Structure 1
Amino acid sequence: MAIRKSELYSSLWKSCDELRGGMDASQYKDYVLVLLFIKYVSDKYEGKKDSIIEIPEGASFKDLIKLKGQSDIGDRINKITGKLAEANELKGVITVADFNDPDRLGKGKDMVDRLSNLVSIFENPALDFSSNRAENDDILGDAYEYLMRHFATESGKSKGQFYTPSEVSRIIAKVIGINCSKSQSETIYDPACGSGSLLLKAADEAISGVTIYGQENDNATRALAVMNMWLHGNPASDIRQGNTIASPLFTDERTGDLKTFDYVVANPPFSYKSWSNGINPQHDVYERFTGFGIPPSKNGDYAFLLHIIKSLKSKGKGACILPHGVLFRGNTEADIRTNIIKRGYIKGIIGLPANLFYGTGIPACIIVLDKENAGERKGIFMIDASKGFIKDGNKNRLREQDIHKIVDVFNRQIEVPKYSRMISLKEIEENEYNLNIPRYIDSQESEDMQDIEAHLLGDIPARDIDALKDYWEVYPALKNDLFIQNNRPGYVKLKIEKDKIKSAIFGHPEFIACRKEMENIFKLWEKNTVDYLKELKKGLRPKDVINCISENILNSYQNLHLVDKYDVYQHLMNYWSETMQDDMYELSSDGWTAGNEVLRLTKEDKKGKKKEVEGMAGLSGRLIPVDLIIELYFGKEKVHIDEMEAEKETLIAKMDEVREEHGGEDGLLSEVMDDKGKISKKTITAHLKEVNKKPLENREEITLLKDYSKLLNREGELKENIKYAWKELETKVKKKYPALSLEEIKKTVLEEKWMRSINKAVHTEIDRISQRLTGRIKELAERYETPLPELEKTVEELEEKVNAHLERMGFVWE
């Protein structure tokens, strides 16, 4: 079986539970990631000659398993990691975590149990990396990213800066042009590389490969980066530890100048106060500030940006994440910014939402640099992407649609109202080289104006209806069917009752035609996609698959009015993340025959022992959900069970009603009810013997008891019948899976599972659009429904009625 991403993530995160309490996330991440590294390299390379890593005898994950329960487990794990590190020049990388630290891991049995449980979690067969057929799809690298993100979330404000959100990294990777690199000899560098995620995302875009360099100030974080490089298949990456500004470690051996690179990316610490420690900025030996200006002594944002510029080759390209303040702060920073702009080094600026980054909530931007043809640059392309995000816990997160839109708009230099513009250098000069994005892009929504005349005289302002022009371009006749021109210029009347607005829109021929067009577009995409997916075979690369079908859905919806193609794209990406991605890894592992398998689930009891989940609830199809098999092949059986369940619920409701009516202190059923208000066959039978001794006197009670007994008997029969029916259905379902043909599996998975779900999600878009139109028209109708004179008249009438009523009661207002 394949490693499902969801299972891998949950298993790895479960390992963290064993360590919580003794230390915070910034510390326990080292233990988890070291064990993950040892498990991975052991599975992939143990016993293999000429592999990229040597697994010495006695230094594999199997040797860790042997230590479970032993009193000296912590010390011996340290020795194993040390042996593996020494054989592969990984000292200071996988030896950063002390597995024999009693302050963090507990003492005596507490440490033994904690480390034994931790090893057991990685012993899970689901984490067997040797059998992962989708290895080229970087499932382990994604798992590492998952852990990094969660560690950053839990590490708190001061300790989460080792990680750049992968969504931001992906944007940078796609806008610096590294996809045009031509050979492995080209270079990429990150002067503040953290855990290396930004470097790796950028390197992934280099089709022909790229040579990776990075420097990180913190030693433990540098260790994370090195492991990250290994786990992503880049063991030759050169990651060094040291202060980049004070002591840059990548220099030209011949001249002593800074080494220059083809690409540079960075997410340096924001507004770093101690940036100048260890150097004399006025006499910087690397001349990073010459011709630009010296950054403020307590703010290192421009120190890092100037270091990046100096580290770029003459045609080098790069991107740096910095706080928005660098765009508009004055004094020395204004001079530096002016000098950079005049040299044409800034190609673009992408404004990001606030609260994206770990360690800070302030909004940031991506400054895209390009030295090639800098002298001829006539403007800077700006994007205000501050409003495109989703809440994710206490942080904001870019969605797939936000990432794709930013990349598309930037790379194609598309001007989108309220979102993006090419700003000429002349306009920037007129604004005194202030690059604050709101100066150039007004992303604020138009204010919803109240119309005084409409409030006084009624009717709807024509300007509010005309503001819905995007809708009228698609539904031109609908506008005329909803509104009629008023005698007063500039105002219109609603032709229909406000309560009928929704039905009028949803039933209008133009709306129906628009929905039909949506259906036809989806059907065409569905056909092409199903034809493509049918041909997938074992060993497929899931990321290639989603890239293909998602780009196709974007192209399919690109010319459709009202519907945002990126919203449609997001529906597909959501389903991919929730369901389809795991299915693809199953297909990659075993092909379509995975659809023939149904598994028996297990769960842990209170003692931690795994037990099988009995009945239908315990069945889980690898590719095809059990519910879908029942729906497609055993509909009649399920209907029969549902009917019996419904009858049983009716009986229970009837018995509840009878007990409530006759179960009081003096009720006819009071003698057969227990302390909990329940009635059993046994108590009814026993009591009937008593009351039957005086049949005439107890006739009503006997009748009620017999009727209730029949209800109980029928309930019992139904329970037995339902139980038997479920058992029979379970047997049929288990037999059906292996009997499915290859064509049946493909049809079920492709059409009934995947396409049905995606179709349902995508078609909510047209309803959402029309709901917005309906809501706006209804809002305007209600706003101006009752003019002020009518309200005043109504108030006068009500006041007269109240005064008359008070007068009759003997009260008169003076």
Structure 2
Amino acid sequence: MALKKSDLYSSLWRSCDELRGGMDASQYKDYILTLLFVKYVTDKAKSDPNSLIDVPVGGSFDDMVALKGDKEIGDKVNKIIGKLAEANGLEKVIDLADFNDEEKLGKGKEMQDRLSKLVTIFADLDFRDSRAEGDDLLGDAYEYLMRHFATESGKSKGQFYTPAEVSRVLAKIVGIGARTRQDHTVYDPTCGSGSLLLKVADEAPRGLTIYGQEKDNATWALAQMNMILHGYEDRDIRKGDTITSPQFTQGARLQTFDFAVANPPFSIKSWSNGLENDYGRFEFGRPPEKNGDYAFLLHVLKSLRSNGKAAVILPHGVLFRSHAEANIRKELLRRGYIKGIIGLPANLFYGTGIPACIIVLDKENAQARTGVFVIDASKGFMKVGNKNRLRSQDIHKIVDVFNKQTTIERYSRMVPIHEIVAPKNEYNLNIPRYIDSSEPEDIQDLHAHLHGGIPDHDLEALNGYWEAFPSLRTTLFKPNRPGYSDLAVSVAEVQQAVVDSDEFQKFVTDVRSQVDDWFAAHRPVLQALNPDTVPKDLIARISDDLLARFKNTPLLDEYDVYEQLMTYWDDVVHDDVFLVMNDGWCDAAKPRKTIEDKERKLSETPDLVIGSGRKATRYKMDLIPPALVVARYFADEQSKVDALHTAAEEANRAVEEYIEEHAVEDGLLAEAMDGDKISKPLAATRLKVARHEGADAEEIKALQHLIKLYNEEAVAKKAAKEAQAALDLATLQKYGDLTLPEVKQLVLDDKWHAVIADRIAGVVNSMTHVLVGRIQQLGERYAETVGALGAELEQLETKVAGHLADMGIV
């Protein structure tokens, strides 16, 4: 079976479980990623004779497998890694983790067992036939681990990882396009584990020439391994402090590059410690001694060629802080180097919770630049655990809007330089000065509260709906007086009135047709999936087309529609495509027995169970869920099974209701109770005793009736169980009879198309709820006038006074 992304993730994370306890995540990442690296290069060397990594005898992962249970496994693993490092010039890169460290891995048998289990987990992964190159499976897995390591390492140790979503934004806005050549250069002066560099290089048709510098030795080693895992064996990643000891120099000048990206440490106070040569970086002013943000920005600017472009992540303070930083900002703006600013949501990064921004630098035609394009993207994110993350739709919207320089109210605009330099702003770039992203205030209408009616200006704020559904407003509202209207239906009837509207029904149908047309256009490509398919190119093509098709659809945000596809792709379709690419449609559709491994704490939830007890066989259907097979081929049988299950539930309910009615104190079944329960055996025992004792005839009759209900329930449950078992067996057998066209129909139409269409229908439903909710809110807000409420209050006061008088209270 093909190695799926989700399977790889779970295997890698289980390996982390084996290391927890002796060290924190910032340390055990070195062990996990080292084993990942050794396993990957070992497998690739077997399948690729031209592999750039030489795996020597005694230096492979297979040699580690042979050590399972060995008392000296820790020391011998170190030697295996040492041989691999020596053969490829990777000393102090892949051999930093000490697999014989008793403090971290335990002593004697504890270390032996822990490392044996760890090797076993990795041994089950097989990268030889994996299409990792086409979809960067390893890169995704590496990011997955880095994200979890950063999360578990805590605030102070998350600096080695830039969230992949933010990296993708920088990569797509930095100016790389179809004409970018492989020999064009990209540079990251604070490259961490290298993920940001790789994302940028991935935007070029054939990659880029990569340069980077990293201060931390262990993180530098991670970057080196990361580059090799991604196929960039010829990268140039150097060690050292970028500000005080830049490694990429040409005499007294800095080496320059075509592109640069950076996520430097925020507001570092010790940036100038040991600084001797500024390499001309501070010609526009020296950054404050206690804040290094502009030191990194100026370093990046100086490292760009005359037409170079860069994107740098920095805290918002760089946009508005005064004194030395204000002077630097003024000089950069006067020369036109700042092309754009993008404000990001707070709490995206692992090293800090403060909001950050992206400064986009562009030296090409800088003198002719007349404005700065500003985006406030701070509202677009999803909450994941204790962090925020950009969604696919947030990434795409930022990139689209920035690259096309599109103006969107409360989101983006081109701010002219003359506005920035005006006395009221004085080169301050704080985003709220130029974009008000706050939602309009919902103003209460005093006249409406006094005299009734819904203000027409509130209804006109919903004009987008009335343009889409021209007759709906007259259906829902009637005139009250000039400037005010009343609901023509009750508040409770608003939703049904909207849903029943012919125009709304047509809108729903049109949206479904748009989805159907989109899927039909791409179905030929989807059904032609093969080992040469590149999944990331496939999803980019079909998702961009979906976005374009819904761009002009009224009321719907095309990015909300896009998100439905992308979420489903990440959750399900990506793995499906990977299975089909590696195994073919029919083999990928075959059921397989679930994996049960208590030693490795691995247990899969079955999709289908045939038999019961110890003889039960559990199956997993990775590509086609059993429900789809049943719905298409066994609909009648499923209806009968559903009816039997309903009958069984009704029989059970009859038992419970009868017990509830009579198993009360002094009730007919009270003597049969055992605590809160009265089972069939208890009822039978009590019936026998009651007959022997000559108990009340009504009690005997009640016990007999309860036993009869229990018998009927047992018969109903047995019938339902047998029918379900027969249907499950028929379903399993049907998998073996499925033809290639049937498999494709089940996956493409019944699964992918149907789910995507339903999810997009959910966007329409959400839009409807917004409209209905607003109308109901307005209807309830102005339903009663102040006068009516005052009269009601007087009546209630009179009534209370009367009651008090009756009680003799004045």
Q: Secondary structure at the match of 2:254?
A: coil
2:461 alignment partner AA: A
Alignment check: 8 A CA contact 2:260 2:310 kept: yes
Alignment check: 8 A CA contact 1:93 1:227 kept: yes
Deviations 1:336-384 (A, max 9, x none): 1111111111111111111111110111111111111111111111111
**Greater Cα offset, 26-35 or 532-541:** 532-541
Counterpart position of 1:542: 535
1:509 to 494, 502, 526: 502
Within 1, Cα distance between the matches of 2:191 and 2:703? 80
Within 1, Cα distance between the matches of 2:686 and 2:290? 90
Instruction: Sort the Cα spacing of 1:249 and 1:699 in 2 relative to 1 into closer, same or farther, 3 A.
Output: same
Alignment check: 8 A CA contact 1:378 1:424 kept: yes
2:642 alignment partner AA: D
Alignment check: 8 A CA contact 1:541 1:588 kept: no
Once the two structures are TM-superposed, the CA of residue 710 in structure 1 deviates from its matched residue by 3.3
Once the two structures are TM-superposed, the CA of residue 795 in structure 1 deviates from its matched residue by 0.8
Alignment check: 8 A CA contact 2:347 2:387 kept: yes
Within 1, Cα distance between the matches of 2:552 and 2:66? 62
Once the two structures are TM-superposed, the CA of residue 14 in structure 1 deviates from its matched residue by 1.1
Within 2, Cα distance between the matches of 1:212 and 1:190? 9
Within 2, Cα distance between the matches of 1:486 and 1:667? 62
Within 1, Cα distance between the matches of 2:672 and 2:351? 66
Within 2, Cα distance between the matches of 1:708 and 1:424? 84
Deviations 1:645-686 (A, max 9, x none): 2222222333334444555676655666667734345x6666
Matched, 1:633 2:625: no
Task: Report matched runs for 1:401-480 at 5 Å.
Answer: 401-430=393-422, 431-480=425-474
Within 1, Cα distance between the matches of 2:149 and 2:206? 32
Counterpart position of 1:398: 390
Matched, 1:373 2:357: no
Matched, 1:350 2:342: yes
Within 2, Cα distance between the matches of 1:63 and 1:550? 44
Within 2, Cα distance between the matches of 1:607 and 1:122? 11
Within 2, Cα distance between the matches of 1:213 and 1:607? 40
State, as a whole percentage, how many aligned pairs show the same letter.
53
Once the two structures are TM-superposed, the CA of residue 426 in structure 1 deviates from its matched residue by 1.2
1:287 alignment partner AA: G
Counterpart position of 1:326: 318
**Greater Cα offset, 636-645 or 715-724:** 715-724
Instruction: Sort the Cα spacing of 1:437 and 1:739 in 2 relative to 1 into closer, same or farther, 3 A.
Output: same
Deviations 1:95-123 (A, max 9, x none): 11111111111222222221111111112
Within 2, Cα distance between the matches of 1:190 and 1:611? 42
Within 2, Cα distance between the matches of 1:787 and 1:699? 66
Within 2, Cα distance between the matches of 1:47 and 1:270? 44
Alignment check: 8 A CA contact 1:350 1:385 kept: yes
Alignment check: 8 A CA contact 2:529 2:577 kept: no
Instruction: Sort the Cα spacing of 1:503 and 1:642 in 2 relative to 1 into closer, same or farther, 3 A.
Output: closer
Instruction: Sort the Cα spacing of 1:481 and 1:104 in 2 relative to 1 into closer, same or farther, 3 A.
Output: same
Q: Secondary structure at the match of 2:274?
A: coil
Once the two structures are TM-superposed, the CA of residue 687 in structure 1 deviates from its matched residue by 6.4
Within 1, Cα distance between the matches of 2:308 and 2:686? 95
Q: Secondary structure at the match of 1:650?
A: helix
Instruction: Sort the Cα spacing of 1:693 and 1:414 in 2 relative to 1 into closer, same or farther, 3 A.
Output: closer
Alignment check: 8 A CA contact 1:598 1:622 kept: yes
2:32 alignment partner AA: V
Counterpart position of 1:257: 253
Matched, 1:28 2:17: no
Deviations 1:513-556 (A, max 9, x none): 22222122122112213233122234422212211211111111
Within 2, Cα distance between the matches of 1:279 and 1:38? 39
1:328 alignment partner AA: F
Within 2, Cα distance between the matches of 1:441 and 1:608? 52
Count of residue pairs brought into register by the alignment: 801
Once the two structures are TM-superposed, the CA of residue 428 in structure 1 deviates from its matched residue by 1.3
Counterpart position of 1:137: 135
Alignment check: 8 A CA contact 1:217 1:243 kept: yes
Counterpart position of 1:219: 217
Task: Report matched runs for 1:169-184 at 5 Å.
Answer: 169-184=167-182
Task: Report matched runs for 1:182-193 at 5 Å.
Answer: 182-193=180-191
If the length of structure 2 is used for normalisation, what is the TM-score?
0.95
**Greater Cα offset, 473-482 or 32-41:** 473-482
Once the two structures are TM-superposed, the CA of residue 701 in structure 1 deviates from its matched residue by 4.7
Alignment check: 8 A CA contact 2:258 2:305 kept: yes
Alignment check: 8 A CA contact 1:353 1:363 kept: yes
Q: Secondary structure at the match of 2:253?
A: coil
Counterpart position of 2:376: 384
Instruction: Sort the Cα spacing of 1:235 and 1:777 in 2 relative to 1 into closer, same or farther, 3 A.
Output: same
Counterpart position of 1:794: 792
Counterpart position of 1:758: 756
Q: Secondary structure at the match of 1:18?
A: helix
Within 2, Cα distance between the matches of 1:592 and 1:178? 36
Within 1, Cα distance between the matches of 2:400 and 2:728? 50
**Greater Cα offset, 700-709 or 353-362:** 700-709
Once the two structures are TM-superposed, the CA of residue 318 in structure 1 deviates from its matched residue by 0.9
Alignment check: 8 A CA contact 1:620 1:626 kept: no
Within 1, Cα distance between the matches of 2:412 and 2:314? 19
Counterpart position of 1:713: 711
Within 2, Cα distance between the matches of 1:674 and 1:448? 60
Within 1, Cα distance between the matches of 2:93 and 2:721? 58
Counterpart position of 1:276: 272
1:157 to 155, 158, 162: 155
1:556 alignment partner AA: R
Once the two structures are TM-superposed, the CA of residue 641 in structure 1 deviates from its matched residue by 2.6
Instruction: Sort the Cα spacing of 1:366 and 1:624 in 2 relative to 1 into closer, same or farther, 3 A.
Output: same
**Greater Cα offset, 374-383 or 495-504:** 495-504
Q: Which runs of 5+ in 2 are unaligned?
A: 611-616
2:25 alignment partner AA: A
Instruction: Sort the Cα spacing of 1:631 and 1:619 in 2 relative to 1 into closer, same or farther, 3 A.
Output: farther
Instruction: Sort the Cα spacing of 1:451 and 1:665 in 2 relative to 1 into closer, same or farther, 3 A.
Output: closer
Alignment check: 8 A CA contact 1:134 1:540 kept: no
Instruction: Sort the Cα spacing of 1:161 and 1:374 in 2 relative to 1 into closer, same or farther, 3 A.
Output: same
If the length of structure 1 is used for normalisation, what is the TM-score?
0.94
Deviations 1:90-148 (A, max 9, x none): 11111111111111112222222211111111122xx2111213532111110001111
**Greater Cα offset, 617-626 or 799-808:** 617-626
Within 1, Cα distance between the matches of 2:454 and 2:416? 41
Within 2, Cα distance between the matches of 1:137 and 1:222? 25
1:425 alignment partner AA: I
Counterpart position of 1:267: 263
Task: Report matched runs for 1:274-313 at 5 Å.
Answer: 274-280=270-276, 284-290=277-283, 292-313=284-305
Once the two structures are TM-superposed, the CA of residue 307 in structure 1 deviates from its matched residue by 0.6
1:503 alignment partner AA: Q
Alignment check: 8 A CA contact 1:595 1:737 kept: no
Q: Secondary structure at the match of 2:37?
A: helix
1:554 to 524, 547, 560: 547
Once the two structures are TM-superposed, the CA of residue 184 in structure 1 deviates from its matched residue by 2.0
2:774 to 757, 764, 776: 776
**Greater Cα offset, 607-616 or 642-651:** 607-616
Alignment check: 8 A CA contact 2:371 2:415 kept: yes
2:434 alignment partner AA: Y
Instruction: Sort the Cα spacing of 1:286 and 1:779 in 2 relative to 1 into closer, same or farther, 3 A.
Output: same
Within 2, Cα distance between the matches of 1:352 and 1:184? 30
Matched, 1:491 2:489: no
Instruction: Sort the Cα spacing of 1:251 and 1:571 in 2 relative to 1 into closer, same or farther, 3 A.
Output: same
2:33 alignment partner AA: L
